[in-house]
Amino acid sequence: MLFRLGDLQPGIRLQMTKDSLRMVLQRPVLGWGLGTFPTVYPAYRSFYTNLFVNEAHNDYAQLLVETGIVGFGVMLWFLFRVYQRGVPTSRRWEFKWDGALSLAALIGCTGILFHSLVDFNLQIPANATVFYVLCALAASELSPSSSRSRASRDAAATEENSVSLK
């Protein structure tokens, strides 16, 4: 059987995640620092390979290793806020185009987040850019009839009325 150069054997990704979690135990609060995974990981690797392991093949484990609990907590807060803002908008997907766009963006974000469990797709700049654009679309109020627009129109109308009464 032929293997491509760089293919990982079955079970290696899970072992890399376990090794990464051992790294977290050494520096749990702030982690090892962004971009240090390929330098620090060889000391914790529990299997033999002739390949250079430059990523954890699990974005969550790598973020935890590099930024610790603090950085991981910031990521969880960010995702919570994206879904907290996006889910209510997406519930009206059948009636409003901004709801459909929000739902599509949330589905895209969710797909990328699931893929991040088994790969390092957010380490690739183009994938990270797409992810953050989807997050922005999911969490933003796009409809011109949104509460902010309505509030500013009401404020302008009130100001107009008060000017005309003087």
Residue 52 CB-half CA count within 13 A: 3
Q: pTM for this structure?
A: 0.77
pLDDT digits (tens, 9 = 90+) for 81-126: 999 999 998 888 888 888 899 999 999 999 999 999 999 999 999 9
The whole-number pLDDT of residue 95 equals 81
Q: In the prediction, which pLDDT does 97 show?
A: 85
pLDDT of residue 49: 82
Alpha helix locations (H) across the chain?
Answer: 12-26, 37-40, 59-90, 97-115, 125-139, 147-165
Confidence of residue 5 (pLDDT cuts 50, 70, 90): very low
DSSP state for residue 94 in the 8-state scheme: T
| Stronger pLDDT, 142 or 72, i.e. the higher one | 72
Q: What is the mean pLDDT of residues 44-48?
A: 90
For residue 2, what pLDDT is reported? 38
Give the mean model confidence (pLDDT) for residues 135-140.
94
Give 123 or 154, the one with higher predicted confidence: 123
